[in-house]
A and B are shown apart, each in its own frame.
Chain A
Amino acid sequence: MVNTLDQIFVLLQHWIVGLLPAVLQPFAGVLLNVVAIIATFPALFAISVLLERKGLGRMQNRIGPNRVGPFGILQPVADGIKSLTKEDVVPFRADAIVHFMAPVVLVVIVFMGYAVLPMGRNMTLVHMDGALLFYFAMGACTELSVFMAGWASRNKYSLLGAMRAVAQMISYEVPLLLSSVTVVMITGSLSLDRIVEAQNQYTWGLPHWYIFTPWGLLAFLMFAIAATAETNRSPFDLPEGESELVAGYFTEYSGFKFAEFFLGEYVGMLSISGLGATLFLGGWSAPLEVLNFVPSWVWFFSKVMLSICVMIWLRGTLPRLRQDQLMNFAWKFVLPMTLLNLGVAALWRFMDGGWLRWVVCSAIVLGTYVLVGRSEMRRRHYGPRSYRYAE
């Protein structure tokens, strides 16, 4: 019974594919998986948008949407109908083809990342040897669509927003990759399935998740920071800072194209949360051995939604960074910490198990954190700010 529930989607897929003639079966199997992914994540997108609007409202002493349906839970439906029926305005001077292609490219690329995420036991679309590399290759392509959107709009706010977004995404991609490399070093594989299996072990009923090691905790924190910046979420939402740039690179988008950008952003958040959960939080494995009777996919999706809640919480709590703070933080704090973490992970790999490696690795991680943090604080100049204006 437990096993059936765990594999229910896999069994369902096999049953549906079994109904079809043998010629179509391989094709239908893949198609069914893709349809499942394309249906599930926009549904989660709707839930997280509602969660964000309600939660953010409460954090800001507002009520939030409460008109559509009981407690406003049908708000995403109303939003969807609105964006579908709105007029699609393309600026007269805009580059029509590139302007049209940008949101399409973004949505397609963002969905590609899900192909390698293990969403439950035996629930990976493509079992790939270099799955992590594939994920990051797809992630790197989103920058191009952001640039296309900003450039094709022929609007200075759009272009400035796109330049900011691309600079920010390139800067934070380095720590994102470097913090994930530690997991690859310890597991010895780029395959996300293998990474989850390596964490799906228990000692005294407690899991072997990578977050519960000194290097893993540091890598997870750095990964979370970089992932927040990579998805242009607050406090790193300068590219769409509404007080300066209207809406950043998608200022000139309306109607369904705007909805596509919105979808791309949230699906990207869900996807990178899924990757974070897979790398550091044990993917679909249960947090305690006794909880193994709960289906694996429940764990994966609850970890993803938990990360989304933390992101909403951060958005409600932290003020937006300034551009120079953003860059200094990436290159002078996050990057040195991830580089050091590579060394710590290597040390962890080659020291024998036991309490000694815990002490040594934790001491290095904590010591550097305090040192780097302190020196950054001391170097910061608290004086009157100087402004430079364009002549």
Chain B
Amino acid sequence: MTIVFWILAALTVAGGLAAVTLRNTVHCALAVTAAFAGLALLFLQLDAQFAGFAQILVYIGAVAILVVFAILLTRESETTEHAVFSRTWLAGLCIAAGVFAVLGWAVLRSANAIPQQATAPVVAVKDIGNALMSRYVLPLEIVALLLTAAMVGAVVVAMHEKGDTK
């Protein structure tokens, strides 16, 4: 629990809070990006280089841009007049608290399940690649299939109907 951790945690939480409380949707998207950046820095602080860089590359480089594009292309990006809280905020809060409790419980339990090591293991990017291509090749392929299906679906949705003029 160093001071760096607290700064990063504050940045992440502030980004997340701003994302749900700001009125302008594009500001919300930018605040989410700040939260993503904070998470990536937390990964880096834990010496998880690959996870940190992948977080930046995928979430800031792609997901944030997609979110922003979706906001701009679908609806008015102007500030909303009505209140930012929807009517189901209580249900949403309960679900979020429930998910957080389950995740927290799982993380706290995992400390006992895994044997304690004296020193932190050094994981090179190469080891992660080897693990992905040997032990975890089935999950990798399933994810690849899922992504391909999503991409084909997107193309089908965007395709012109037969007989439809361009």
- A residues in contact (CB < 8 Å) with B: 98, 128-130, 133-134, 136-141, 143-144, 147-148, 151, 159, 163, 166, 170, 173, 188-190
Q: A133-B54, A133-B125, A188-B126 are in contact. Are A140 and B60 (CB under 8 A)?
A: yes
Q: Which residues of A contact B50 (CB under 8 A)?
A: 130, 133
Residue in contact with A140 in the complex, picked from B27, B49, B62, B77, CB distance below 8 Å: B62
Q: Which residues of A contact B49 (CB under 8 A)?
A: 128-130, 133-134
Residue in contact with B65 in the complex, picked from A98, A139, A144, CB distance below 8 Å: A144
In Å, the complex CA distance between A170 and B27 comes to 21
Residue among A143, A163, A189 with most chain B CB within 10 A: A143
Is B61 among interface residues, defined by CB-CB distance under 8 A?
yes
Is B124 among interface residues, defined by CB-CB distance under 8 A?
yes
Residue in contact with A166 in the complex, picked from B33, B53, B57, B69, CB distance below 8 Å: B69
Residue in contact with A129 in the complex, picked from B54, B56, B65, B125, CB distance below 8 Å: B125
Q: A130-B49, A151-B26 are in contact. Are A140 and B61 (CB under 8 A)?
A: yes
Find out whether the CB atom of A166 lies under 8 angstroms from the CB atom of B65.
yes
Is B68 among interface residues, defined by CB-CB distance under 8 A?
yes
In Å, the complex CA distance between A128 and B61 comes to 20
- B residues in contact (CB < 8 Å) with A: 26-27, 30, 33, 49-50, 53-54, 56-57, 60-62, 64-65, 68-69, 72, 77, 124-126
Residue among A129, A137, A138, A148 with most chain B CB within 10 A: A137
Residue among B53, B54, B60 with most chain A CB within 10 A: B53
Q: Which residues of B contact A133 (CB under 8 A)?
A: 49-50, 53-54, 57, 125
Q: How many A-B residue pairs have CB under 8 A?
A: 63
CB distance from A142 to the nearest CB of B (A): 9
In Å, the complex CA distance between A54 and B118 comes to 62
In Å, the complex CA distance between A286 and B51 comes to 35
Find out whether the CB atom of B57 lies under 8 angstroms from the CB atom of A136.
yes
| Prevailing SS type, chain A contact patch | helix
CB distance from B124 to the nearest CB of A (A): 5
Q: Can you list 5 A-B pairs, Cβ within 8 angstroms, ordered by A? A: A128-B49, A134-B49, A134-B53, A140-B62, A159-B72
Chain B: CB-nearest residue to A98 = B30
Q: Which residues of B contact A166 (CB under 8 A)?
A: 65, 69
Q: A188-B126, A190-B125 are in contact. Are A130 and B61 (CB under 8 A)?
A: no
Q: What would 16 more interface pairs be, CB under 8 Å, given A129-B126, A130-B50, A137-B57?
A: A129-B124, A130-B125, A133-B53, A134-B49, A134-B53, A136-B57, A140-B57, A140-B60, A141-B61, A143-B61, A143-B65, A144-B61, A144-B68, A151-B68, A166-B69, A170-B62
Q: Which residues of A contact B77 (CB under 8 A)?
A: 151
In Å, the complex CA distance between A347 and B64 comes to 37
CB distance from B160 to the nearest CB of A (A): 15
Which 5 pairs of residues, A with B, have the shortest CB-CB distance?
A140-B61, A137-B56, A133-B53, A137-B57, A137-B53
CB distance from A197 to the nearest CB of B (A): 16
Residue among A128, A133, A163, A170 with most chain B CB within 10 A: A133
CB distance from B127 to the nearest CB of A (A): 10
Find out whether the CB atom of A141 lies under 8 angstroms from the CB atom of B56.
yes
In Å, the complex CA distance between A141 and B53 comes to 11
CB distance from A220 to the nearest CB of B (A): 22
Residue in contact with A144 in the complex, picked from B57, B60, B125, CB distance below 8 Å: B60
Q: Which residues of A contact B72 (CB under 8 A)?
A: 151, 159, 163
Find out whether the CB atom of A141 lies under 8 angstroms from the CB atom of B125.
no
Find out whether the CB atom of A147 lies under 8 angstroms from the CB atom of B56.
no
Find out whether the CB atom of B61 lies under 8 angstroms from the CB atom of A137.
yes
Q: Which residues of A contact B126 (CB under 8 A)?
A: 129, 188-189
Residue among B30, B33, B69 with most chain A CB within 10 A: B30
Find out whether the CB atom of B56 lies under 8 angstroms from the CB atom of A140.
yes
Q: Which residues of B contact A189 (CB under 8 A)?
A: 126
In Å, the complex CA distance between A143 and B27 comes to 16
In Å, the complex CA distance between A345 and B112 comes to 45
Chain B: CB-nearest residue to A151 = B26
